[in-house]
Structure 1
Protein backbone atom coordinates (compact mmCIF):
# COMPACT_ATOMS: atom_id res chain seq x y z
CA UNK A 1 0.00 0.00 0.00
CA UNK A 2 1.37 3.42 -1.00
CA UNK A 3 -0.21 6.48 0.56
CA UNK A 4 1.16 9.80 -0.74
CA UNK A 5 1.55 13.07 1.15
CA UNK A 6 -0.91 14.79 -1.17
CA UNK A 7 -3.61 12.25 -0.27
CA UNK A 8 -2.99 12.86 3.45
CA UNK A 9 -3.24 16.62 2.90
CA UNK A 10 -6.53 16.11 1.09
CA UNK A 11 -7.84 13.98 3.94
CA UNK A 12 -6.78 16.47 6.64
CA UNK A 13 -8.38 19.40 4.79
CA UNK A 14 -11.65 17.49 4.33
CA UNK A 15 -11.60 16.35 7.97
CA UNK A 16 -11.05 19.90 9.23
CA UNK A 17 -13.63 21.52 6.97
CA UNK A 18 -16.18 18.65 7.01
CA UNK A 19 -17.35 20.03 3.70
CA UNK A 20 -16.00 18.95 0.30
CA UNK A 21 -16.64 22.32 -1.35
CA UNK A 22 -14.77 24.30 1.31
CA UNK A 23 -11.95 21.74 1.43
CA UNK A 24 -11.59 21.85 -2.37
CA UNK A 25 -11.38 25.65 -2.30
CA UNK A 26 -8.75 25.47 0.44
CA UNK A 27 -6.71 22.93 -1.54
CA UNK A 28 -7.26 24.73 -4.84
CA UNK A 29 -8.67 21.65 -6.57
CA UNK A 30 -12.08 20.97 -8.06
CA UNK A 31 -14.77 19.40 -5.89
CA UNK A 32 -15.15 16.29 -8.14
CA UNK A 33 -11.38 15.75 -8.11
CA UNK A 34 -11.22 15.95 -4.32
CA UNK A 35 -14.16 13.57 -3.89
CA UNK A 36 -12.47 11.14 -6.28
CA UNK A 37 -9.19 11.29 -4.33
CA UNK A 38 -10.95 10.73 -0.99
CA UNK A 39 -12.78 7.68 -2.33
CA UNK A 40 -9.51 6.35 -3.75
CA UNK A 41 -7.83 6.80 -0.35
CA UNK A 42 -10.66 4.93 1.36
CA UNK A 43 -10.31 2.07 -1.13
CA UNK A 44 -6.56 1.85 -0.48
CA UNK A 45 -7.05 1.84 3.28
CA UNK A 46 -9.90 -0.63 3.18
CA UNK A 47 -12.27 1.36 5.37
CA UNK A 48 -14.49 4.43 5.24
CA UNK A 49 -13.11 7.73 6.55
CA UNK A 50 -16.26 9.84 6.16
CA UNK A 51 -19.99 9.44 6.37
CA UNK A 52 -21.81 11.58 3.82
CA UNK A 53 -24.47 13.57 5.72
CA UNK A 54 -26.86 16.38 4.65
CA UNK A 55 -24.57 19.06 6.11
CA UNK A 56 -21.51 17.67 4.30
CA UNK A 57 -19.14 15.16 5.89
CA UNK A 58 -18.81 13.46 9.27
CA UNK A 59 -15.73 11.54 10.35
CA UNK A 60 -16.16 7.84 11.00
CA UNK A 61 -14.41 6.25 14.00
CA UNK A 62 -11.55 5.23 11.69
CA UNK A 63 -11.36 8.74 10.23
CA UNK A 64 -11.27 10.28 13.70
CA UNK A 65 -8.43 7.95 14.67
CA UNK A 66 -6.48 8.69 11.49
CA UNK A 67 -6.73 12.50 11.68
CA UNK A 68 -4.11 13.14 14.42
CA UNK A 69 -1.79 10.58 12.83
CA UNK A 70 -2.04 12.27 9.43
CA UNK A 71 -1.51 15.71 10.95
CA UNK A 72 1.56 14.47 12.79
CA UNK A 73 3.03 12.80 9.71
CA UNK A 74 2.59 15.93 7.61
CA UNK A 75 4.05 18.20 10.30
CA UNK A 76 7.03 15.90 10.84
CA UNK A 77 7.68 15.69 7.10
CA UNK A 78 7.61 19.49 6.72
CA UNK A 79 9.87 19.97 9.74
CA UNK A 80 12.26 17.25 8.62
CA UNK A 81 12.47 18.65 5.11
CA UNK A 82 13.36 22.09 6.47
CA UNK A 83 16.04 20.62 8.75
CA UNK A 84 17.63 18.70 5.89
CA UNK A 85 17.64 21.76 3.66
CA UNK A 86 19.25 23.89 6.36
CA UNK A 87 21.87 21.27 7.30
CA UNK A 88 24.52 22.57 4.90
CA UNK A 89 25.67 26.07 3.90
CA UNK A 90 25.24 25.12 0.25
CA UNK A 91 22.64 23.09 -1.53
CA UNK A 92 20.30 22.92 -4.49
CA UNK A 93 17.36 25.23 -5.11
CA UNK A 94 14.65 23.31 -6.95
CA UNK A 95 12.61 25.45 -9.34
CA UNK A 96 9.30 23.99 -10.49
CA UNK A 97 7.81 24.94 -13.84
CA UNK A 98 4.91 23.73 -15.94
CA UNK A 99 5.60 25.53 -19.21
CA UNK A 100 8.70 27.06 -20.76
CA UNK A 101 9.42 30.41 -19.09
CA UNK A 102 11.53 32.22 -21.72
CA UNK A 103 10.77 35.94 -22.07
CA UNK A 104 14.29 36.77 -20.86
CA UNK A 105 13.06 36.36 -17.29
CA UNK A 106 15.41 33.77 -15.80
CA UNK A 107 18.97 34.51 -16.92
CA UNK A 108 19.57 37.77 -15.02
CA UNK A 109 17.73 36.52 -11.92
CA UNK A 110 19.85 33.35 -11.82
CA UNK A 111 23.03 35.41 -12.10
CA UNK A 112 21.94 37.55 -9.13
CA UNK A 113 20.97 34.46 -7.14
CA UNK A 114 24.42 32.91 -7.63
CA UNK A 115 26.03 36.15 -6.45
CA UNK A 116 23.87 36.14 -3.31
CA UNK A 117 24.21 32.40 -2.64
CA UNK A 118 27.65 31.23 -3.82
CA UNK A 119 28.00 27.46 -3.80
CA UNK A 120 24.32 26.86 -4.44
CA UNK A 121 23.13 24.89 -7.46
CA UNK A 122 19.84 25.35 -9.31
CA UNK A 123 17.72 22.44 -10.53
CA UNK A 124 14.85 23.00 -12.96
CA UNK A 125 11.99 20.53 -12.47
CA UNK A 126 9.08 20.12 -14.88
CA UNK A 127 5.83 19.39 -13.02
CA UNK A 128 2.62 18.21 -14.67
CA UNK A 129 -0.52 20.31 -14.47
CA UNK A 130 -2.07 17.79 -12.06
CA UNK A 131 -0.32 19.94 -9.43
CA UNK A 132 -1.16 23.65 -9.96
CA UNK A 133 1.47 24.62 -7.36
CA UNK A 134 4.28 23.13 -9.52
CA UNK A 135 5.63 21.16 -6.56
CA UNK A 136 5.26 23.77 -3.82
CA UNK A 137 2.38 22.02 -2.06
CA UNK A 138 4.25 18.78 -1.41
CA UNK A 139 7.66 20.38 -0.89
CA UNK A 140 9.28 18.89 -4.00
CA UNK A 141 9.96 22.41 -5.35
CA UNK A 142 11.41 25.34 -3.42
CA UNK A 143 10.14 28.05 -5.77
CA UNK A 144 8.15 27.83 -8.99
CA UNK A 145 7.01 29.67 -12.06
CA UNK A 146 3.23 29.34 -12.19
CA UNK A 147 0.27 30.79 -14.01
CA UNK A 148 -2.27 32.54 -11.80
CA UNK A 149 -4.56 31.90 -10.02
CA UNK A 150 -2.26 30.16 -7.52
CA UNK A 151 -3.17 27.74 -4.70
CA UNK A 152 -3.82 28.81 -1.11
CA UNK A 153 -0.71 29.30 1.01
CA UNK A 154 1.43 30.35 -1.93
CA UNK A 155 2.95 33.83 -2.20
CA UNK A 156 3.44 35.22 -5.72
CA UNK A 157 5.12 38.00 -7.64
CA UNK A 158 3.76 38.70 -11.13
CA UNK A 159 6.51 38.67 -13.76
CA UNK A 160 4.52 39.01 -16.99
CA UNK A 161 0.97 39.95 -18.00
CA UNK A 162 -0.05 38.86 -21.49
CA UNK A 163 -3.04 38.55 -23.77
CA UNK A 164 -4.54 35.12 -24.22
CA UNK A 165 -4.34 33.45 -27.63
CA UNK A 166 -6.07 30.38 -29.05
CA UNK A 167 -4.11 27.65 -30.84
CA UNK A 168 -5.85 25.65 -33.57
CA UNK A 169 -5.04 23.55 -36.63
CA UNK A 170 -4.02 25.71 -39.60
CA UNK A 171 -7.06 24.47 -41.57
CA UNK A 172 -9.57 25.49 -38.89
CA UNK A 173 -12.48 27.64 -40.08
CA UNK A 174 -11.25 30.60 -37.96
CA UNK A 175 -7.52 30.23 -38.66
CA UNK A 176 -7.45 33.10 -41.17
CA UNK A 177 -8.79 35.64 -38.67
CA UNK A 178 -6.50 38.35 -37.29
CA UNK A 179 -8.30 38.22 -33.92
CA UNK A 180 -11.15 36.09 -32.58
CA UNK A 181 -13.78 37.02 -30.02
CA UNK A 182 -14.15 34.31 -27.39
CA UNK A 183 -17.92 34.27 -27.95
CA UNK A 184 -17.23 32.81 -31.41
CA UNK A 185 -15.41 29.88 -29.79
CA UNK A 186 -18.21 28.86 -27.44
CA UNK A 187 -19.31 25.93 -29.57
CA UNK A 188 -15.79 24.58 -30.03
CA UNK A 189 -14.28 21.74 -27.94
CA UNK A 190 -11.17 22.63 -25.93
CA UNK A 191 -8.27 20.66 -24.48
CA UNK A 192 -8.49 20.93 -20.68
CA UNK A 193 -5.98 20.61 -17.88
CA UNK A 194 -6.60 17.74 -15.41
CA UNK A 195 -9.44 18.20 -12.90
CA UNK A 196 -6.90 18.42 -10.07
CA UNK A 197 -5.70 21.73 -11.57
CA UNK A 198 -8.86 23.27 -10.04
CA UNK A 199 -9.50 26.96 -10.86
CA UNK A 200 -6.46 27.02 -13.16
CA UNK A 201 -8.27 24.52 -15.39
CA UNK A 202 -11.29 26.83 -15.59
CA UNK A 203 -9.06 29.83 -16.37
CA UNK A 204 -7.48 28.13 -19.37
CA UNK A 205 -10.89 26.98 -20.58
CA UNK A 206 -12.11 30.57 -20.56
CA UNK A 207 -14.57 29.87 -17.74
CA UNK A 208 -17.29 27.34 -16.94
CA UNK A 209 -19.49 25.87 -19.65
CA UNK A 210 -16.72 25.34 -22.20
CA UNK A 211 -16.95 22.07 -24.13
CA UNK A 212 -14.11 19.69 -23.23
CA UNK A 213 -12.82 17.54 -26.06
CA UNK A 214 -9.76 16.08 -24.32
CA UNK A 215 -7.52 16.42 -21.25
CA UNK A 216 -3.74 16.76 -21.14
CA UNK A 217 -1.23 17.24 -18.33
CA UNK A 218 1.72 18.68 -20.28
CA UNK A 219 2.35 21.14 -23.13
CA UNK A 220 3.38 18.35 -25.51
CA UNK A 221 0.19 16.45 -24.72
CA UNK A 222 -1.91 19.57 -25.26
CA UNK A 223 -0.50 20.37 -28.70
CA UNK A 224 -0.68 16.75 -29.85
CA UNK A 225 -4.37 16.81 -28.94
CA UNK A 226 -4.90 20.06 -30.87
CA UNK A 227 -3.10 18.69 -33.94
CA UNK A 228 -5.26 15.55 -33.70
CA UNK A 229 -8.38 17.72 -33.93
CA UNK A 230 -9.57 16.92 -30.40
CA UNK A 231 -9.96 20.55 -29.41
CA UNK A 232 -8.52 24.06 -29.31
CA UNK A 233 -6.41 25.46 -26.47
CA UNK A 234 -5.96 28.86 -24.88
CA UNK A 235 -2.42 29.96 -24.16
CA UNK A 236 -0.55 33.13 -23.31
CA UNK A 237 0.89 35.42 -25.98
CA UNK A 238 4.45 34.55 -24.96
CA UNK A 239 3.78 30.83 -25.05
CA UNK A 240 2.23 31.18 -28.50
CA UNK A 241 5.74 32.16 -29.61
CA UNK A 242 7.60 29.60 -27.49
CA UNK A 243 5.43 26.66 -28.56
CA UNK A 244 5.22 27.14 -32.31
CA UNK A 245 4.32 23.87 -34.03
CA UNK A 246 4.06 22.97 -37.75
CA UNK A 247 0.40 22.71 -38.66
CA UNK A 248 -0.79 24.99 -35.84
CA UNK A 249 -1.65 28.69 -35.79
CA UNK A 250 -2.28 30.94 -32.79
CA UNK A 251 -4.57 33.98 -32.83
CA UNK A 252 -5.27 36.62 -30.15
CA UNK A 253 -8.62 36.29 -28.38
CA UNK A 254 -10.72 39.25 -27.29
CA UNK A 255 -13.24 39.13 -24.46
CA UNK A 256 -10.91 37.43 -21.96
CA UNK A 257 -8.85 38.76 -19.06
CA UNK A 258 -5.05 38.58 -19.52
CA UNK A 259 -2.86 35.73 -18.32
CA UNK A 260 -0.33 36.38 -15.55
CA UNK A 261 2.93 34.48 -15.13
CA UNK A 262 4.27 34.64 -11.57
CA UNK A 263 7.14 33.56 -9.38
CA UNK A 264 5.72 31.56 -6.47
CA UNK A 265 6.95 30.25 -3.15
CA UNK A 266 5.39 28.94 0.05
CA UNK A 267 4.20 31.98 2.01
CA UNK A 268 5.68 30.66 5.27
CA UNK A 269 9.05 29.74 3.73
CA UNK A 270 11.73 32.09 5.11
CA UNK A 271 14.82 30.08 4.16
CA UNK A 272 17.70 32.27 2.94
CA UNK A 273 17.98 30.59 -0.45
CA UNK A 274 14.28 31.11 -1.22
CA UNK A 275 14.41 34.74 -0.06
CA UNK A 276 17.54 35.34 -2.15
CA UNK A 277 15.89 33.93 -5.27
CA UNK A 278 12.75 36.03 -4.79
CA UNK A 279 14.83 39.17 -4.29
CA UNK A 280 16.79 38.35 -7.45
CA UNK A 281 13.77 39.53 -9.43
CA UNK A 282 14.09 43.07 -8.07
Structure 2
Protein backbone atom coordinates (compact mmCIF):
# COMPACT_ATOMS: atom_id res chain seq x y z
CA UNK A 1 0.00 0.00 0.00
CA UNK A 2 1.25 3.48 -0.86
CA UNK A 3 1.39 5.64 2.26
CA UNK A 4 -0.36 9.01 2.04
CA UNK A 5 -0.19 12.04 4.30
CA UNK A 6 -3.70 11.14 5.43
CA UNK A 7 -2.43 7.88 6.94
CA UNK A 8 0.31 9.76 8.80
CA UNK A 9 -2.21 12.27 10.15
CA UNK A 10 -4.45 9.42 11.33
CA UNK A 11 -1.52 7.70 13.02
CA UNK A 12 -0.35 10.89 14.76
CA UNK A 13 -3.87 11.70 15.97
CA UNK A 14 -4.29 8.27 17.58
CA UNK A 15 -0.75 8.43 19.01
CA UNK A 16 -1.44 11.81 20.60
CA UNK A 17 -4.93 11.06 21.88
CA UNK A 18 -4.30 7.37 22.75
CA UNK A 19 -7.97 6.86 21.95
CA UNK A 20 -9.48 5.87 18.62
CA UNK A 21 -12.79 7.48 19.59
CA UNK A 22 -11.28 10.86 20.50
CA UNK A 23 -8.95 10.80 17.49
CA UNK A 24 -11.90 10.07 15.18
CA UNK A 25 -13.74 13.13 16.50
CA UNK A 26 -10.62 15.24 16.01
CA UNK A 27 -10.28 14.01 12.43
CA UNK A 28 -14.01 14.25 11.57
CA UNK A 29 -14.19 10.58 10.58
CA UNK A 30 -16.04 7.62 12.04
CA UNK A 31 -14.25 5.43 14.56
CA UNK A 32 -14.65 2.24 12.46
CA UNK A 33 -13.20 3.99 9.41
CA UNK A 34 -10.24 5.25 11.43
CA UNK A 35 -9.56 1.80 12.90
CA UNK A 36 -9.62 0.28 9.41
CA UNK A 37 -7.17 2.89 8.09
CA UNK A 38 -4.77 2.27 10.99
CA UNK A 39 -4.89 -1.49 10.45
CA UNK A 40 -4.06 -0.99 6.76
CA UNK A 41 -1.27 1.40 7.74
CA UNK A 42 0.19 -1.19 10.10
CA UNK A 43 0.00 -3.81 7.37
CA UNK A 44 2.02 -1.58 5.04
CA UNK A 45 4.82 -1.55 7.65
CA UNK A 46 4.32 -5.20 8.58
CA UNK A 47 4.43 -3.97 12.18
CA UNK A 48 2.03 -3.35 15.05
CA UNK A 49 2.08 0.34 15.93
CA UNK A 50 -0.48 0.30 18.76
CA UNK A 51 -1.19 -2.03 21.63
CA UNK A 52 -4.95 -2.20 22.03
CA UNK A 53 -6.99 -3.39 24.98
CA UNK A 54 -10.56 -2.86 26.14
CA UNK A 55 -9.38 -0.02 28.42
CA UNK A 56 -6.36 1.59 26.79
CA UNK A 57 -4.34 2.25 23.66
CA UNK A 58 -0.56 2.64 23.76
CA UNK A 59 2.29 2.89 21.30
CA UNK A 60 4.51 -0.08 20.62
CA UNK A 61 8.26 0.41 20.16
CA UNK A 62 7.65 0.54 16.41
CA UNK A 63 4.99 3.21 16.92
CA UNK A 64 7.30 5.24 19.16
CA UNK A 65 9.99 5.08 16.49
CA UNK A 66 7.59 6.23 13.79
CA UNK A 67 5.93 9.12 15.68
CA UNK A 68 8.66 11.82 15.44
CA UNK A 69 9.30 10.94 11.81
CA UNK A 70 5.59 11.09 10.98
CA UNK A 71 5.32 14.52 12.61
CA UNK A 72 8.33 15.73 10.64
CA UNK A 73 6.92 14.48 7.31
CA UNK A 74 3.56 16.12 8.02
CA UNK A 75 5.28 19.42 8.88
CA UNK A 76 7.34 19.27 5.69
CA UNK A 77 4.23 18.55 3.64
CA UNK A 78 2.41 21.49 5.24
CA UNK A 79 5.40 23.70 4.43
CA UNK A 80 5.20 22.49 0.84
CA UNK A 81 1.48 23.21 0.70
CA UNK A 82 2.01 26.73 2.01
CA UNK A 83 4.77 27.34 -0.50
CA UNK A 84 2.56 26.21 -3.37
CA UNK A 85 -0.41 28.21 -2.03
CA UNK A 86 1.74 31.33 -1.79
CA UNK A 87 2.99 30.82 -5.34
CA UNK A 88 -0.56 30.33 -6.60
CA UNK A 89 -1.74 33.37 -4.63
CA UNK A 90 0.99 35.45 -6.19
CA UNK A 91 -0.14 34.41 -9.65
CA UNK A 92 -3.91 34.07 -9.39
CA UNK A 93 -4.99 35.53 -6.01
CA UNK A 94 -8.03 33.30 -5.56
CA UNK A 95 -9.95 33.01 -2.29
CA UNK A 96 -11.99 29.80 -2.22
CA UNK A 97 -15.16 30.09 -0.13
CA UNK A 98 -16.88 26.99 1.21
CA UNK A 99 -20.62 26.79 1.88
CA UNK A 100 -23.12 24.00 2.52
CA UNK A 101 -26.43 25.48 1.39
CA UNK A 102 -27.23 28.17 -1.14
CA UNK A 103 -26.11 31.40 0.42
CA UNK A 104 -28.79 33.86 -0.72
CA UNK A 105 -29.38 37.10 1.20
CA UNK A 106 -27.72 39.04 -1.66
CA UNK A 107 -24.39 38.16 -0.09
CA UNK A 108 -22.41 36.95 -3.09
CA UNK A 109 -22.90 40.09 -5.25
CA UNK A 110 -22.06 42.33 -2.30
CA UNK A 111 -18.87 40.62 -1.18
CA UNK A 112 -17.74 40.17 -4.78
CA UNK A 113 -18.16 43.90 -5.38
CA UNK A 114 -16.39 44.76 -2.11
CA UNK A 115 -13.45 42.47 -2.89
CA UNK A 116 -13.24 43.95 -6.38
CA UNK A 117 -13.12 47.46 -4.99
CA UNK A 118 -10.73 46.85 -2.08
CA UNK A 119 -8.59 44.00 -3.42
CA UNK A 120 -8.96 44.06 -7.19
CA UNK A 121 -6.13 41.54 -7.66
CA UNK A 122 -8.21 38.88 -5.89
CA UNK A 123 -11.14 36.85 -7.17
CA UNK A 124 -13.65 34.72 -5.26
CA UNK A 125 -14.44 31.09 -6.05
CA UNK A 126 -17.41 29.48 -4.25
CA UNK A 127 -17.43 25.73 -3.58
CA UNK A 128 -20.31 23.72 -2.10
CA UNK A 129 -19.34 21.16 0.56
CA UNK A 130 -21.60 18.37 1.85
CA UNK A 131 -23.03 18.46 5.36
CA UNK A 132 -20.94 15.43 6.33
CA UNK A 133 -17.93 17.77 6.65
CA UNK A 134 -18.50 20.02 9.70
CA UNK A 135 -15.40 22.07 8.80
CA UNK A 136 -17.00 23.00 5.43
CA UNK A 137 -13.82 22.06 3.57
CA UNK A 138 -11.33 23.87 5.83
CA UNK A 139 -9.90 20.77 7.50
CA UNK A 140 -8.99 19.16 4.19
CA UNK A 141 -7.63 22.34 2.62
CA UNK A 142 -10.36 22.46 -0.03
CA UNK A 143 -11.31 26.05 0.85
CA UNK A 144 -9.70 29.14 2.39
CA UNK A 145 -12.72 30.47 4.26
CA UNK A 146 -16.18 29.08 4.90
CA UNK A 147 -19.66 30.24 5.76
CA UNK A 148 -21.08 27.93 8.41
CA UNK A 149 -23.68 27.80 11.14
CA UNK A 150 -22.33 27.43 14.65
CA UNK A 151 -21.36 25.28 16.45
CA UNK A 152 -18.17 24.36 14.59
CA UNK A 153 -15.59 21.68 15.47
CA UNK A 154 -13.68 22.62 18.60
CA UNK A 155 -10.51 20.73 17.69
CA UNK A 156 -9.88 21.91 14.15
CA UNK A 157 -7.70 24.95 14.76
CA UNK A 158 -10.29 27.34 13.33
CA UNK A 159 -11.11 30.97 14.04
CA UNK A 160 -14.47 32.54 13.26
CA UNK A 161 -16.56 35.68 13.41
CA UNK A 162 -20.34 35.67 13.73
CA UNK A 163 -21.78 37.70 10.85
CA UNK A 164 -25.53 37.13 11.30
CA UNK A 165 -28.02 35.92 13.89
CA UNK A 166 -31.35 34.51 12.71
CA UNK A 167 -34.33 32.86 14.35
CA UNK A 168 -35.18 29.32 13.34
CA UNK A 169 -38.08 28.16 11.19
CA UNK A 170 -39.54 24.72 10.71
CA UNK A 171 -40.11 23.33 7.22
CA UNK A 172 -43.22 21.13 7.04
CA UNK A 173 -44.83 19.27 4.15
CA UNK A 174 -47.81 21.27 2.95
CA UNK A 175 -50.14 18.45 4.08
CA UNK A 176 -48.84 18.48 7.68
CA UNK A 177 -51.52 18.89 10.35
CA UNK A 178 -49.66 21.90 11.82
CA UNK A 179 -49.47 23.75 8.51
CA UNK A 180 -52.57 25.92 9.25
CA UNK A 181 -50.92 27.30 12.42
CA UNK A 182 -49.28 30.73 12.09
CA UNK A 183 -46.43 29.96 14.48
CA UNK A 184 -45.33 27.08 16.64
CA UNK A 185 -43.40 26.11 19.76
CA UNK A 186 -40.84 23.37 19.76
CA UNK A 187 -43.12 21.24 21.93
CA UNK A 188 -45.53 21.16 18.98
CA UNK A 189 -42.83 19.55 16.84
CA UNK A 190 -40.69 17.43 19.14
CA UNK A 191 -42.54 14.15 18.54
CA UNK A 192 -42.38 14.44 14.75
CA UNK A 193 -39.79 12.52 12.72
CA UNK A 194 -36.97 14.83 11.62
CA UNK A 195 -34.68 14.98 8.61
CA UNK A 196 -31.17 15.09 10.09
CA UNK A 197 -27.71 16.06 8.96
CA UNK A 198 -25.36 13.06 8.57
CA UNK A 199 -23.89 11.62 11.77
CA UNK A 200 -20.44 12.86 10.69
CA UNK A 201 -21.70 16.44 10.98
CA UNK A 202 -21.29 16.23 14.76
CA UNK A 203 -22.51 19.21 16.87
CA UNK A 204 -24.35 20.95 13.98
CA UNK A 205 -26.53 17.85 13.62
CA UNK A 206 -27.57 18.13 17.28
CA UNK A 207 -28.19 21.87 16.94
CA UNK A 208 -30.59 21.49 14.00
CA UNK A 209 -32.34 18.61 15.74
CA UNK A 210 -32.65 20.84 18.86
CA UNK A 211 -31.34 17.90 20.89
CA UNK A 212 -30.67 20.11 23.91
CA UNK A 213 -34.40 20.89 24.18
CA UNK A 214 -35.46 17.26 24.22
CA UNK A 215 -35.85 14.81 27.06
CA UNK A 216 -35.42 11.86 24.70
CA UNK A 217 -33.52 11.16 21.50
CA UNK A 218 -35.18 12.60 18.38
CA UNK A 219 -36.92 10.39 15.88
CA UNK A 220 -34.77 10.62 12.75
CA UNK A 221 -36.68 9.62 9.63
CA UNK A 222 -33.78 10.13 7.22
CA UNK A 223 -30.41 11.80 6.82
CA UNK A 224 -29.68 14.36 4.11
CA UNK A 225 -26.25 15.25 2.75
CA UNK A 226 -27.40 18.56 1.24
CA UNK A 227 -30.16 21.13 1.70
CA UNK A 228 -31.76 20.01 -1.56
CA UNK A 229 -32.00 16.42 -0.30
CA UNK A 230 -33.57 17.64 2.94
CA UNK A 231 -36.20 19.73 1.15
CA UNK A 232 -37.13 16.86 -1.16
CA UNK A 233 -37.56 14.54 1.85
CA UNK A 234 -39.74 17.10 3.62
CA UNK A 235 -41.91 17.62 0.54
CA UNK A 236 -42.36 13.85 0.27
CA UNK A 237 -43.70 13.76 3.84
CA UNK A 238 -40.75 11.80 5.23
CA UNK A 239 -40.13 14.25 8.07
CA UNK A 240 -39.66 17.88 9.08
CA UNK A 241 -36.58 20.03 9.66
CA UNK A 242 -35.43 23.27 11.27
CA UNK A 243 -33.68 25.89 9.18
CA UNK A 244 -32.51 29.51 9.56
CA UNK A 245 -34.90 32.28 8.65
CA UNK A 246 -32.54 33.55 5.98
CA UNK A 247 -33.10 30.35 4.02
CA UNK A 248 -36.82 31.01 3.70
CA UNK A 249 -36.63 32.25 0.11
CA UNK A 250 -34.45 29.31 -0.89
CA UNK A 251 -36.79 26.78 0.75
CA UNK A 252 -40.11 28.29 -0.34
CA UNK A 253 -41.97 25.94 -2.69
CA UNK A 254 -45.58 24.82 -3.17
CA UNK A 255 -45.17 21.51 -1.34
CA UNK A 256 -43.42 22.95 1.74
CA UNK A 257 -44.76 25.27 4.47
CA UNK A 258 -42.44 27.39 6.63
CA UNK A 259 -43.41 28.46 10.12
CA UNK A 260 -41.48 30.31 12.87
CA UNK A 261 -40.61 28.37 16.03
CA UNK A 262 -40.85 31.08 18.64
CA UNK A 263 -39.13 29.46 21.65
CA UNK A 264 -35.84 28.18 20.18
CA UNK A 265 -32.57 30.12 20.57
CA UNK A 266 -31.41 31.72 17.32
CA UNK A 267 -28.87 30.34 14.87
CA UNK A 268 -25.54 32.10 14.31
CA UNK A 269 -23.90 32.30 10.90
CA UNK A 270 -20.12 32.69 10.98
CA UNK A 271 -17.20 33.11 8.62
CA UNK A 272 -14.54 30.51 9.47
CA UNK A 273 -10.87 30.39 8.57
CA UNK A 274 -7.82 28.45 9.66
CA UNK A 275 -6.24 30.05 12.72
CA UNK A 276 -3.08 31.90 11.71
CA UNK A 277 -4.28 32.73 8.20
CA UNK A 278 -3.83 36.51 8.36
CA UNK A 279 -4.04 37.29 4.66
CA UNK A 280 -5.82 40.59 3.93
CA UNK A 281 -8.29 38.80 1.67
CA UNK A 282 -9.58 36.72 4.59
CA UNK A 283 -10.22 39.80 6.72
CA UNK A 284 -11.75 41.77 3.84
CA UNK A 285 -14.11 38.93 3.00
CA UNK A 286 -15.16 38.53 6.64
CA UNK A 287 -15.75 42.25 7.11
CA UNK A 288 -17.77 42.44 3.88
CA UNK A 289 -20.02 39.57 5.01
CA UNK A 290 -20.53 41.14 8.43
CA UNK A 291 -21.32 44.59 7.02
CA UNK A 292 -23.77 43.33 4.40
CA UNK A 293 -25.67 40.96 6.68
CA UNK A 294 -25.84 43.48 9.54
CA UNK A 295 -27.13 46.14 7.14
CA UNK A 296 -29.68 43.74 5.66
CA UNK A 297 -30.91 42.80 9.16
CA UNK A 298 -31.15 46.43 10.28
CA UNK A 299 -33.12 47.29 7.16
Range of TM-score over shorter length: 0.7 to 0.9
Q: Where does residue 34 of structure 1 map in the other structure?
A: 30
Q: Distance in 1 between matches of 2:34 and 2:274?
A: 24
Q: Distance in 2 between matches of 1:11 and 1:164?
A: 40
Q: 1:186 to 1:114 in 2, by over 3 A?
A: same
Match 1:259 to one of 267, 281, 285: 267
Residue by residue, what CA displacement relative to the aligned partner does 1:123-161 show, whole Å, maximum 9, x if unpaired?
A: 110000111111111111001111111123211111211
Q: Where does residue 213 of structure 1 map in the other structure?
A: 221
Q: 1:175 to 1:70 in 2, by over 3 A?
A: farther
Q: Where does residue 189 of structure 1 map in the other structure?
A: 193
RMSD: 2.6
3-state DSSP of counterpart to 1:151: coil
Report the TM-score when normalising by structure 2: 0.82
Judging by fraction of residues, say which structure has more helix: 2
Alignment of 1:7-22 (within 5 A): 8-20=8-20, 22=22
* Larger Rg over CA atoms: 2
Q: Where does residue 76 of structure 2 map in the other structure?
A: 76
Q: Distance in 2 between matches of 1:14 and 1:271?
A: 32
Q: 1:9 to 1:185 in 2, by over 3 A?
A: farther
Q: 1:45 to 1:25 in 2, by over 3 A?
A: closer
Residue pair 1:97, 1:145 contacting (<8 A) in 2 also: yes
Q: 1:46 to 1:103 in 2, by over 3 A?
A: same
Q: Distance in 2 between matches of 1:6 and 1:174?
A: 48
- Structure 1 unaligned segments of length 5 or more: list them: none
Residue pair 1:130, 1:194 contacting (<8 A) in 2 also: yes
Q: Distance in 2 between matches of 1:75 and 1:96?
A: 25
Q: Distance in 2 between matches of 1:75 and 1:183?
A: 50
Q: Distance in 2 between matches of 1:252 and 1:233?
A: 12
Q: Distance in 1 between matches of 2:13 and 2:218?
A: 29
More displaced stretch, 243-252 vs 53-62: 53-62
User: What is the deviation of 1:226?
Assistant: 1.6
Residue pair 1:11, 1:38 contacting (<8 A) in 2 also: no
Q: Figure out how many residues of one structure are paired with residues of the other and give that number.
A: 278
Residue pair 1:183, 1:255 contacting (<8 A) in 2 also: no
Match 2:174 to one of 170, 175, 178: 170
Alignment of 1:55-70 (within 5 A): 55-60=55-60, 63-64=63-64, 67-70=67-70
Q: Where does residue 135 of structure 1 map in the other structure?
A: 137
- Structure 2 unaligned segments of length 5 or more: list them: 292-299
User: What is the deviation of 1:178?
Assistant: 1.3
